Structure 1
């Protein structure tokens, strides 16, 4: 890209490029050069907006976590509709069908990124932690409606669902699990 040409929404352009790289080539391929090449801009653009590549990655991960707010809102709105199993299975499929699985691998892969994230995210892997909070909130809503047993430990159930869901979807190079397999897992956990 020629020098002096303004780039609109540069952060979003760089974050979208990171998504594409993670989804197609995985965390090993995510470098500053790969991101700027994919975004169609000079490498210096990234460094003008972020102190270093790990600062870029930390902002990227947190941005993608905050995007889960819309998914959490949709899940909350689904409380009392369809079945609890279907709603949770659909939420897990949407979560892990996105770039989330690759982000988990990225956070696991890069020590400096984890250190940066600890500055603003106290524990856990952000995507997984936020996903567990989303599922727990939904299960709490369903418990209040009587669709989940009153004595259910929704926080533990949510953590189990996120962990087991991640295991189902973790092989990003293979086929995604069949919807029936996700629903079966959810139904077994919620029994």
Structure 2
């Protein structure tokens, strides 16, 4: 085995190679301290390898960070558990669960994306690697379409998807950028879902 391999791998983490170890290490650093200022040196030190070892497994820093960002998102999603299936419970209850999930997800992952705004190459690599249907937004849209096919919803589900995702973005991003537009009060989950289902037009 190469002497440059991390000690943690030399001591018997079965089934893990050095590339996976580096991605996992970088993902843990992203979770703990965000992406702003995250360097190759910091990742290498945390992983227990020399700085140059990273370039034996990744074309560049951007590839490593894009993979680590994807791993961070997966870790957060795995910790949030499963969402209700279409047709289960009431539509109101499942929509509340969807929005609560989205808010919790964005609270954990948006800081990492915000920290990479000055590194568009990383975000481009992340986007290129993403598969259709993989994001929560894709799954939310799929859920709404399934409920419409079941006859439990009607109307423009793409617009509904944009509204729910927009609530998540506004709620979380307004806290990340304190010098941006102020959000005085964020609507509660129940209020958002009631408005989505009932509308605001006078009947």
Which residue is equivalent to 2:101?
A: 91
TM-score normalised by structure 1 residue count: 0.69
Relative to 1, partners in 2 of residues 1:62 and 1:163: Cα closer, same or farther, differing over 3 Å?
same
- Aligned-pair distance for 1:112? 2.0
Greater Rg by CA:
2
Partner of 1:167: 170
Query: Residue 119 of structure 2 aligns with which residue?
Result: 110
TM-score normalised according to structure 2 size: 0.66
Bigger helix share? 1
Instruction: Say which SS state the counterpart of residue 37 (structure 1) adopts.
Output: helix
CA contact (8 A) 1:18 1:35 kept: yes
Correspondent of 1:142 among 141, 147, 165 = 147
Contact kept in structure 1, 2:106 and 2:169, CA below 8 Å? yes
8 A Cα contact 1:132 1:162, kept in partner: yes
Question: Over aligned residue pairs, what C-alpha RMSD do you find?
Answer: 3.8
Structure 2: any 5+ residue segments left out of the alignment? 179-185, 199-203
Question: Is 1:61 equivalent to 2:66 in the alignment?
Answer: no
| Mapped partners of 2:20, 2:192: distance in 1 | 35
Q: How many corresponding residue pairs?
A: 180
Q: Write the mapping of 1:66-85 to structure 2, written as runs, cut at 5 A.
A: 74-75=82-83, 77=85, 79-81=87-89, 83-85=93-95
